[in-house]
Amino acid sequence: MRIAIIGAGATGLAAGYELTRRGHGVTVYERSEEALGGLAGSQTVAGAVIDKFYHHIFTSDADIISLIGEAGLSDSLVWKNAKNGIYCAAASETSSGGRIYPFTSPADLMRFPELSLLSRARTGLAVLRAKSVGDYSRLEDVSARDWLIKTAGRESYDKLWRPLLDSKFGEDADGVGGVWIWNKFKLRGSTRRGAGAESLGYLRGGFGVLYGRLAEIIRSRGGRFMFSEVTSVVAEPGGGLSVTAGGERAEYDKVLFTASPAELCQIAALPPEYAERARAVKHKANVCVTLVTKKRLSDYYWLTVAKPGAPFVLFIEHSNLFPDPSFGERGYIFLSRYLDSSDALFRASDDELAGVFFDCLGGIFPDFTPADVVDYRVHRAEYAQPVAGLRHSERILPPETALGGLYLASMAQIYPEDRGQNYAVASGRAAAGIICGGRTVK
């Protein structure tokens, strides 16, 4: 078959890898060669190659670990134990300060002074309870907010989880489903070795190495890449579909679209009922600043910022967990924020955005000043985080769209798991199987 894949992120490249392995002719479309890898693509900052958005994988991520092995990159996959922390705002509303606490192990939770002993115990039990839940369907009618209050307690919710949910989902925070937070607890608990730290994986040189290798393999099997924006997908009267990009039109037997459902509606004439369902899938955007400092700011890898109103929710000092010889003594840091694409901060200039982030960073690390910055980059993604609300399973679109021969494999269809490279890879390979006549995978 002649198959077009729209999108050269993890999903599209995994699908292309699988389809060319099965002997099909594949053309992969992407806006530009620099966008190869999608949200898992690479960038060069201050002389070092690093991901555009922060990434790591977990020991339970079997699909991407397998693909890394098939691509001949197992020797480049390194595993490290992470040191995590949490920054909590000061208890007094008149103070702008706060404090960083270790938050790596269950023992750190039990020593966490911002919560009462009872709340610490209830929070720990909530995580343990999540790990034991096998059937998540009973959580589909419960919001993350209500589930957290019921299991971990009001104090734990107000101090820890509410600022995080608010900063990630904004006005949609109260409607996020309990399945979402349950899966987070379950996943993070499964990556620990006993009661110790999480074991996290990373590819030397960044995950862009994997996606570059997949592109090479696809080409070696006769696949093609077209680096131009797709403007239309049209069903042909005699069967099949045509794809137009950069003014060039080509016909295919099947087409796989791997971006958001809303973006599919922009290029394909879909029936109104299907298009309405597709546009109803809400996403949060993301802005991520890659910051290079003259010296490292902390000894933490992952710092959760539980401060109401903070412009970013995550501080990831990548160089503390996965140092590269090219880093030297410098700190390579990601500052991440989820928000609506209509938010003024998402539309702000790079310099304006960086200024807001740097001001907050100085409040967390008083020794930091903008003069410490060697270089920085800002990356934005309009469709970065699907909002999984109550009974989200009923709103998931199937892989087969309402247009014959057109298939969809997007982050919004990953459930009950949340978005992530492992699930993107699994989704791409599953979509390839469906296109080739396999059964629909929910």
- Assign residue 230 a region: left if phi > 0, alpha if psi is -120 to 50, beta otherwise? beta
Question: Quick one: pLDDT band at residue 396, thresholds 50, 70, 90?
Answer: very high
What is the predicted pLDDT for the residue at 167? 82
Question: Quick one: pLDDT band at residue 190, thresholds 50, 70, 90?
Answer: low
- More confident of the two residues 398 and 418: 398
What is the predicted pLDDT for the residue at 307? 86
- Assign residue 420 a region: left if phi > 0, alpha if psi is -120 to 50, beta otherwise? left
What is the predicted pLDDT for the residue at 90? 66
pTM across the whole model: 0.92
Domain boundaries, the chain: 2-42+207-280+395-435, 105-190
Structure tokens at 198: 């999480």
Residue 361 and residue 372: Cα distance in Å, rounded? 12
Q: Phi then psi for 86, rounded to 5 degrees?
A: -140, 135
What is the predicted pLDDT for the residue at 93? 45
Structure tokens at 111: 């020593």
Which of 185-189, 228-232, 235-239, 255-259 is predicted least confidently?
A: 185-189
pLDDT tops 60 at residue 91: no
Average predicted confidence (pLDDT) for the chain: 92
Task: Give which of 420, 434, 440 is closest to 19, Cα–Cα.
Answer: 434
pLDDT tops 90 at residue 387: yes
pLDDT tops 70 at residue 440: no
Q: Which homologous superfamily is 2-42+207-280+395-435 in?
A: FAD/NAD(P)-binding domain (3.50.50.60)
What is the predicted pLDDT for the residue at 185? 85
3-state DSSP assignment of residue 365: coil
Residue 293 and residue 365: Cα distance in Å, rounded? 13
Which of 132-136, 178-182, 221-225 is predicted least confidently?
A: 132-136
pLDDT, average across residues 110-114: 93
Residue 140 and residue 163: Cα distance in Å, rounded? 22
pLDDT tops 70 at residue 94: no
Distance separating the N- and C-terminal Cα atoms of the chain = 24
Chain centroid, CA 318 distance in Å? 16
Q: How many percent of the chain have pLDDT more than 70?
A: 95
